[in-house]
Structure 1
Amino acid sequence: MLVLILGGITFSHAQTKSDSLAIRQAALDYIESQHQPDSAQMARCLHPRLVKRTFWKYPRQQREYLRESHADEMVLLAASYNIKGDKFPPNPRKEVILLDVSSNTASVKLYADEWIDYMHLVKLNNEWKIVNVLWQFKDANRHQ
């Protein structure tokens, strides 16, 4: 019986406290670099081959499609998105939930004011970098 129970368990490398902190910091760098415009902070957390995706709708045609952004666009966005300081509330929400962490990969969910972001991170050269983001507005009707 014990063999059957243990046979179904998959063992992976345990996450370390430093990995968990680094993963969380990468997700915070992603959103905080937009709160206080900081392109260097955004660049620090992204892998150069990052792809960020969401669904979007053409209102007139009622047709949906997948919209993409890349690392270079996100770095530029971080430098300019909140330049006037009017895009976020005084105390913006930034809740990071570690969904899964393995030795070199992680999945994270970020709640940030009007957005929900799912992120995949990879550990390369002992640094955690965001490689994929799938996001949506909390109100999916805003995707137009």
Structure 2
Amino acid sequence: MAIYIQLILACFVLVSGCSNATTDIEKKAIETAAKSYLIAQIEARPELMEKVTDDELIKRTYWQDQQGKEFVMAMDKQGLIKLAAEYNLSGTRFSAQPKIELRILDVDKRVATVKLITDEWIDYMHLYKTASGEWRILNVLWQFHQIQKHKSVR
């Protein structure tokens, strides 16, 4: 009986060890996809943005128009690719050592939620794992740290 219990415990330890290894691999892949989204903007690499985002991506934030009316501003994948190509062409939009802090908030099989913190803003992202095993960004909700910046200039 004692040998039987030891075998069960040994199997449990082996299985839990394998699942942790998979979790670490998955977390690294999620981290790579989320950070690539920011690196694409920092380094003006639209092809990288194309790779890590889903075709149905929507990036949103709240905004005020010139009359002060608040609305939800949205950008699709093509807009985000264009942003990556143009936003930092001058090389002055980010500090020499930009802050890239990533917190994986939750992972459940093929979906994940992360918080990406930069010098100027935060992004909450939803990612999913494709059938081919790649993690892609599907949704982004973002906000400037200085929320008064969420308005159109008059």
> Does residue 1:142 correspond to 2:128, yes or no?
no
CA distance in 2, matches of 1:91, 1:23: 22
Letter in 2 for 1:74: L
| Structure 2 residue runs without a partner (length 5+) | 1-18
* Selected match of 1:43 from 42, 50, 69: 50
> Does residue 1:122 correspond to 2:128, yes or no?
yes
* Selected match of 2:84 from 78, 89, 96: 78
CA-CA distance at 1:58 after TM superposition:
2.0
Q: How many residues align?
A: 131
Corresponding residue number in structure 2 for 1:22: 29
Letter in 1 for 2:105: L
CA distance in 2, matches of 1:59, 1:72: 25
> Does residue 1:31 correspond to 2:38, yes or no?
yes
Secondary structure, aligned partner of 1:16:
helix
CA-CA distance at 1:59 after TM superposition:
4.1
| Structure 1 residue runs without a partner (length 5+) | 1-12
CA-CA distance at 1:140 after TM superposition:
0.8
Question: What is the TM-score when the length of structure 1 is the normalising length?
Answer: 0.87
Identity of aligned residues (%): 38
Secondary structure, aligned partner of 2:81:
helix
CA-CA distance at 1:63 after TM superposition:
1.5
Higher strand proportion = 1
CA distance in 2, matches of 1:29, 1:123: 15
Question: What is the TM-score when the length of structure 2 is the normalising length?
Answer: 0.82
CA-CA distance at 1:22 after TM superposition:
0.6
Q: CA RMSD in A?
A: 1.3
Letter in 1 for 2:98: P
Higher relative contact order (CA 8 A, sep 6+): 1
Corresponding residue number in structure 1 for 2:62: 55
Give the 4+ runs in structure 1 shifted more than 3 A: none
What per-residue deviation string (whole Å, max 9, x for no partner) do you get for residues 48-103 of structure 1?
1100000001243x211000001111111111110010100000001010000010
Letter in 2 for 1:16: T
Within 5 A, what are the aligned runs for 1:98-113? Answer: 98-113=104-119
* Selected match of 1:94 from 100, 112, 135: 100
Letter in 2 for 1:47: D
CA distance in 2, matches of 1:33, 1:45: 10
